[in-house]
Amino acid sequence: MPTLKATSGDIYYEVNGQGPPLVLLRGLGRTVRHWLGYEKDLAEQAGVQVITIDLRGMGGSTATAKWSHSIFAHADDVTAVMDHLKIDKAHIMGVSLGGMVTLALGIKFPARCRSLIVMNTSIAGQGVLRLSPRAVLTLAQAARFRDERFHARLVDVLVSPSSLPVARAKITREYAAIAKDEGLYFWMVLKQLVAAARFLVKKDLQQMQVPTLVLYGTDDRFVPNTNSEKLAQLLPCARLQPIAQAGHEISLDRPKELSQAVADWLRG
């Protein structure tokens, strides 16, 4: 497995495709495996080299995630992987919590970022609900259901209502298989939620000059769309773009449309 030696363990990463480097970051309680192959499709369709990274304590990354760690600690790990791969600058793309790490990179390491792409992402201190009540309830059920019932309920809140039952069932089975191998990361999810709650960067983002594409799924039932709209208004160099009939997991609902939006952004 490709790993980078870091403080208190390793950081796991994968590389797919050739072209300009694009770092792809997963969200709350998710690992590289949860892209379900989308990273390979993105590399091909957008003509980029996609670097996927497991955040601390997740998947193949054995580096310890402490309760005191902020979102910026993950940004440090991303730049360490870039250094390891001899990548000076890259496009950075993340969904949900991965989007927060993406913004943290733009704040702390703007010279390392060609551009940012954030999907269904929020920050603290915006005065809006960051998670829908349904999302909170679903996450709370993780402690009760540790089988496919939990994954079915999770998929229901992560994908668009327009998603076909056969597609939902397939995703549920794949998520359950990953959880059987890796576990549900209950304590890591709590640590990530604490870090997200402390992600108070409104003033920093108002000064950030890195070009940023803010994407959101119009059917997102996990993170309310208002978060993306307010984020785009806050950033000086941002463009807001909705993806119709996509839920929180845009890469599952509308993978071709997402890859096209990314390819258009990178060419622009």
| 1 contacts 60 by C-beta, under 8 angstroms | yes
**Residue 148 confidence (pLDDT):** 61
Distance in angstroms (rounded) separating the CA atoms of residues 166 and 164: 5
- Give average pLDDT by consecutive 10-residue segment, the chain, 268 residues: 81 97 96 97 96 96 94 97 97 98 98 98 95 86 64 91 94 92 88 96 97 98 97 97 97 97 95
pTM to 2 decimal places: 0.96
Burial string for 140-151 (b: 16+ CB within 10 Å, else e) reads: eebeeeeebebb
Please give the pLDDT value at position 145. Answer: 60
**Distance in angstroms (rounded) separating the CA atoms of residues 123 and 230:** 10
From the CB of residue 177, how many other CB atoms can be counted at a distance below 10 Å?
13
pLDDT at 202: 97
Indicate the length of the chain as a whole number.
268
Return the bridge partners of 95, or none.
Answer: 119
CA proximity to 120, closest of 202, 194, 214, 28: 214
Q: Is the dihedral of CA 250, 82, 15, 17 positive or negative?
A: positive
Q: Which of 98, 55, 59 is nearest to 77 (CA)?
A: 55
Q: Where are the domains of the chain?
A: 3-267
CATH number of 3-267: 3.40.50.1820
Determine the Cα–Cα distance for residues 245 and 159; give it in Å rounded to an integer: 9
The rounded distance, in Å, linking the Cα atoms of 38 and 237 is 27
